[in-house]
Structures are given as structure tokens and as C-alpha cells.
Structure 1
Amino acid sequence: MAEKIIKGFTLQSSGDPSFLRKEEDTIQEDEPPSSAGEAQSAASKKIESRSNLRLVFSREEDDDSWRGLLARSITKAVDLPKHLCMDAIAVHDVTRRYPMRINPYYLGLIKEINDPLWLQAIPDFKELNDPLGVEDPLNEEEQSPVPNITHRYPDRVLFLVSSQCAMYCRFCTRKRKVGRSLTVTEETIASGIEYIGRHREVRDVLLSGGDPLLLTDKSIEQILKALRQIPHVEIVRIGTRVPCTLPQRITPRLVNMLKKYHPLYINTHFNHPLEITPEAAKACGRLADAGIPLGCQTVLLRGVNDDAAIMKQLMQRLLRIRVRPYYLYQADLTQGTGHFRTPIDKGLEIIEALRGHTSGLCVPTFVVDVPGGGGKTPLLPQERGKLK
């Protein structure tokens, strides 16, 4: 069974040509700016309107227009001042350690320095000063029987099928892997499918990464088809942020392919109301029209959404674009993300403020992914003051 499933499998990543150079890491060793003055001079050469750039691309209906956006992504610190009023020197060392990618669509949503979208996308020197953070806080590697499979729960597995994202979020739980091309290969995907085929207890497969939807349509379909040939796999889920960070990727061609593999569920990831744009609404509408149930897994982030009014607005807007709030996550103890973490009581305070003040559909489950691989633990407002 396993040999038949994986025969002929080929992995193709989409968009950015650097995805195809399997022997090199995507972290760019760009030369640091020679001085703060030089960086400031570059800052004065900002493009006229980043929002106009976003709108030009969003009007294109061709199935491949999103590739152009991805190819124009900012990946080097030295290029940031061309588009934003900032000093590249301050983040150069950060981008050498943790990859950066900001595509023109998401760049166009940023309105000012340190706004909620800036904080999620732009590297910060604080990433290099996180004494409490650990590389793999959820113990995914120790619970991995084969590369890129995490088998924590009896009947389901996490299957990492991509190391690439449309944007590298600065709070990412998998900063240790994302953006590094050799962490996911054709061989690791083939071995993952073989593992799932051999383990009859696995009925639910969550495809994640990176972002699975950064693979080509052909590669995504190969994976889905292989999983659908395994009799005991009942449910396939996809965790993706592209409806938020690159909604142009949700093309008619992609959606028509995905709907052939029901039951299929998608959990996406919006963190702030400003991310819910007409383009994002259109992408989610296409997926919903294809019969794919959509949920949202939001992360509680200091300075981004750690406010009850902002969270209420986000959850209400999600429902309007046919996405049901699912989880609100306490930020993980991932190394390099300490400046985003809030006290647990902040999340409980927000849930308490939502209850009774908006519809029940707008109230996500607040969870802590217990460090060390303990799994998700739901928390209720009555536990305020009891946890740290």
C-alpha cells in the first residue's frame, strides 16, 4: 500500500524561484548598511504608495498573478528602507538568524511604524534577546517518529509538508524550521505518507508547515490524493495563513482541485481586524463556496490584539467572511518571541469580556499549548489569577 501511494511523488514549491534551489538556505547573507545615515538616505526613496501596489495586483484575476507578488517579496534587511521609514542596521543581525519575507500585498497593509501589522511582519532586535524561549517548546521533534510527522495524539498526526510561507511571521512557533528549504523534502513527504499508511489508528491528518498552500497545485493534489488512498484516513485538515497574508493564492483553479478531496477542513490565521480586507474576504468566500469549512486560530500577541475591543471586532469580522473563530492561543515559549507574550490572565480577561457581549459564535476557545508536548489545554475565565 505505502509503495503504491508514494510512487512518482514530486515536490514542487510555488512562486519564489528560490524555492526551487534545494541546495541553498533561504536566509540571505546580505551586506549590512555601512551607516545609519546611508540607511536613512535609502528610507527617503520609499515607493510612492504601497497600498496602490497591493490594489494593482489584487485586480489581476489570472491564476498565476500571486506568483508575481511572491517574487517581489522583501527578503533582505538592506531593502527594507526602500519601502519603510526604518533603519536596516537595527534588524540586519535578526534577519541573518531568522528569515524574513514580506510580500507586497501584506506590505501594503502596513500604515505606520509599530502598528499591529508592522509588529507581525518586520524583524525586531528583541528577537535576539529572549532568555526564556526555547527552540522547540512543544517538543515536536521528540514526538516525531519520522521527519516532519508529529504523532502526539492517538488518532491524528501533524504532517509538515512545506517550509515556506507567504510571509514569515515574527512570532512563529516553528522559527527553527520555517524558511529553511532543506527541512522539508520529497523524501520527508514520502516517508510521512508511508508512516500514515502503516498506522491504522490515524484517522485525522493535519497538513501544516510552513504553509502547505505555498506548494504548487500539482504537489498539493499529489499529497491529498495519496492520503485519500489510505482507507483509514477519514479527515484531512490544512493549516494555512495565505487567506490572510497572500489571498491571491486562493485561485479558482486551486479551489476546484481542493473540493475534490472532501471531507477537507481549513484552519486559517487572522490576528487583527486590519487583516480582513476585500481580498481576504474574497479568498475565504471562494473556499467556503467550495464547501470547505473554515476556522480561525488566532494567537494572542502583545501590542497586536491584547485588547478586548480589538478581539471582539476581529471575531465579528471573521464571521462576516464565513470563518468561524476556533482557538485563541496563548503565545508559545518559542525562542525569539518573548516580546509578544502576554500573561495568561490577559487571555482570560479577553474571553470574559467577549462572553455575553457578543454572540457565542464570536467566542473562541482560549488554549495554552503546554510546553514539553503536553498538548492543548483549554482555560476558562474563572481560572484568572490562578495561573502564570
Structure 2
Amino acid sequence: MRCCGRRWGRLAIACWSASHETPHAPHPRRPRRGITPALADPIAPSDPDDPIARQFVPDSAELDFGEDERADPIGDEAHAPVEGIVHRYPDRVLLKLTDICAAYCRFCFRRERVGKGSGLLQPKALAAALGYIRAHPQIWEVVLTGGDPLVLSARRLAGVAAELAAIEHVKILRVHTRVPIAAPARVTPALVRALKASGKAVYVAVHVNHSRELSRDARRACARFVDAGIPLLSQTVLLRGVNDDARVLGSLMRALVECRIKPYYLHHGDLAPGTAHWRTGIAHGQSLMRALRGRYSGLCQPTYVLDIPGGHGKSPIGPQYLRGDAGCGYQIEDFKGQRHSYWKS
């Protein structure tokens, strides 16, 4: 697979970055660059604030590294007992099959690693990772990630699924991917069958940050999963200049639900090097969540989370609506921001 759509990508980058101080000189820490035709086509070259270009076109601000930023912002390495495995929570593991993506998000929390290694988890390392899963019966869920696992061939995915099918204590297979958005043609019947071959309950979490990413082809790709009985979830990163507006974020959540994708997580930006210009304040993120709750269906509500630096896991950081205690009673805030007393314990 050609992951970068070079001809379209160069055209979009050349047009859009004409109005930006984009770094072109070699830099030892510059992350991999790449964009697909599916993502490049909607870019408006004349718009300096294009929300898709902002996610994929390099900007000179990426060369500014904050003191609090780190190469491994969510602490994967602290929970990696063997290559390819991250075991942070007791009942689930990440299985990182590849460091390749269909397109490379500039704000990626693994930007220091993706697109820079050998590409695939090698057979010996994969065998050790599967052996680790077999040896830990508390593992109920395996999350395929990377990189993006859906850049792999259907044959290779089916092979991994078959190995997991033989592990009785694994009940759930979750896939984290941007492929239905970035390269929708890859979502073929063979690929869908490969995931279902595990015999497990399969969920696919799709990374989407703006409603314009949900092209007609992307919607069709997502429908192939849902029509085959694979539920879809969404993961969205809160990004300054992309979706940090209540109407923009609400439009995305509605578009996801219309595509039969349940909004799952809204991620606060991680402390990856050179990403400060994308991060918003937590208070602003909370205000967006309040706006969503007041104006949009419950189906459109993601959980706003922050990955605690150092590998301590995700915590919800959404706004609080309940104050007080059982002894003195509670004050509960409604969707209009008005407070009401509640005396029951």
C-alpha cells in the first residue's frame, strides 16, 4: 500500500503552506509526513485555517519544544513487558502490530515513533506478544493499534485474528484506526471478514476530528463495518483551530451518530513534543462539553478525557454538575446552567 498519496499530498501541502512558515530544512526530530488523496482532496488551498490541512501539513510551531513535553507522553514504555504489548490496565492490552499509518497526524502522541521503525512487528516479537496474552488470563480485551493496524493486508490481519481466536480468555477485539477516513478503499469485504475471523466481539474505534473528514467514501467504508455487525466508536482529539468550537464539535458528533458511530472519547491534547499550538486549556474543553450537553442529543456526548503523563492512564475531566453532600443536600446544575436543590441521599 502507498500510504502517502504523494502527488495529491504534495499539491495540497504546497498550496496550503504558502501562507505558513513551514519548516522545510532537515530536522532530526521532525515526524514522518504523509497524507492520502482522501484527506488531501477536501483541503481548501486558499484557506490558511483549513481544519484538515492543519492536522497534516507541517508548521514551524512544531519546532518549539516545551519543557513539559515528552517523547512518550502517555507512558507506553513504562507498561511494555514485551515488544508490541502495552499492559496499563489489568483487563486489557494494546497490541501494536505496526508503526505505519495511512496518513501522519502532526499532533500524534506517538509522533516520535510512528513511521520511523521497521514497519511491522516481526514474527518473533509477535509470537512473544501473543505468548504474553496467553499467559495472562485476566486479559479480557485486546486492542489492535500501532501505527494503524488496518494498513496491514487482510491476510496478515486474519492470521493475527486466528491466533487471538484460540485464546479463550480474550473476549473482545478492538481496533483503533484512521483508515476508514484516510484510505476508505482499504475497507474491503476481505478486511472486514479478517477481523470477524477472530470469533470475538469486535469493535472498531475510528479517529475523526472534523466533520469534513467524513466524505461519501469514508461514510461507505464505515457502513461496511456496521452492516457486517461490527459496532463503531469514535475517538476525537480536541485541537485548537480544528474543532475547539461548540458548533464545529457538535456538527462532528452529529455526523458521527448519523454514520452509526457512537462518540466515545474526546481526548485532551497530549504533551508530545512540538504540539503546544494545538492544545487548548482544560477549562475551554469543559466549556465545550457543557455546550454539547445543552444543545445536542445524549447520543452525541463523548467522554472528555486526559491521559495522565507518565503512564497513569486516562481520567475523565469533564465538567461537574453535582455539588454538596448527603448531609447538607446537593446542588445539581441543569443543561441551562441553572442550579437546583436535591436533598435525597
Match of 2:310 among 366, 369, 372: 372
Shift in Å at residue 79 of structure 1?
9.5
Matches within 5 A, 1:227-266: 227-261=164-198, 262-266=200-204
Structure 2 Cα separation of the partners of residues 319 and 154 of structure 1: 30
Structure 2 Cα separation of the partners of residues 377 and 89 of structure 1: 36
Percent same amino acid among aligned pairs? 41
Question: Does residue 1:129 correspond to 2:64, yes or no?
Answer: yes
- What SS class does the counterpart of residue 201 from structure 1 fall into? coil
Correspondence for 1:267? 205
List 4+ stretches of structure 1 deviating above 6 A: 75-79
- What SS class does the counterpart of residue 334 from structure 1 fall into? coil
Correspondence for 2:133? 196
Correspondence for 2:216? 278
Match of 1:98 among 3, 10, 31: 31
Mapped contact 2:4–2:34 kept (Cα < 8 A): no
Mapped contact 2:102–2:183 kept (Cα < 8 A): yes
More strand by share: 2
1:150-188: per-residue Cα shift (whole Å, max 9, x none)? Answer: 111111111111111111000101012110132643132
Structure 1 Cα separation of the partners of residues 191 and 10 of structure 2: 32
Structure 2 Cα separation of the partners of residues 99 and 134 of structure 1: 17
Correspondence for 1:165? 101
More helix by share: 1
Correspondence for 1:32? none
- What SS class does the counterpart of residue 79 from structure 2 fall into? coil
TM-score if structure 2 supplies the norm length? 0.86
1:217-255: per-residue Cα shift (whole Å, max 9, x none)? Answer: 111111111111111111110000111111111112212
Correspondence for 2:324? none
Residues 246 and 77 from structure 1, CA distance in 2 versus in 1: closer, same or farther, beyond 3 angstroms? closer
Correspondence for 2:43? 110
Structure 2 Cα separation of the partners of residues 331 and 283 of structure 1: 27
Count of aligned positions = 316
Shift in Å at residue 374 of structure 1?
1.2
Shift in Å at residue 304 of structure 1?
0.3
- What SS class does the counterpart of residue 90 from structure 1 fall into? coil
Structure 2 Cα separation of the partners of residues 352 and 73 of structure 1: 41
Match of 1:356 among 263, 280, 294: 294
Mapped contact 1:272–1:314 kept (Cα < 8 A): yes
TM-score if structure 1 supplies the norm length? 0.77
Shift in Å at residue 190 of structure 1?
2.2
Structure 1 Cα separation of the partners of residues 5 and 76 of structure 2: 33
Correspondence for 1:214? 151
Match of 2:232 among 288, 294, 298: 294
Shift in Å at residue 113 of structure 1?
3.0
1:129-152: per-residue Cα shift (whole Å, max 9, x none)? Answer: 021311001111111101121111
Correspondence for 1:311? 249
Structure 2 Cα separation of the partners of residues 330 and 228 of structure 1: 34
- What SS class does the counterpart of residue 157 from structure 2 fall into? helix
Structure 2 Cα separation of the partners of residues 75 and 163 of structure 1: 23
RMSD between superposed Cα atoms in Å: 2.3
Structure 1 Cα separation of the partners of residues 113 and 119 of structure 2: 6
Structure 1 Cα separation of the partners of residues 81 and 263 of structure 2: 32
Structure 1 Cα separation of the partners of residues 312 and 165 of structure 2: 29
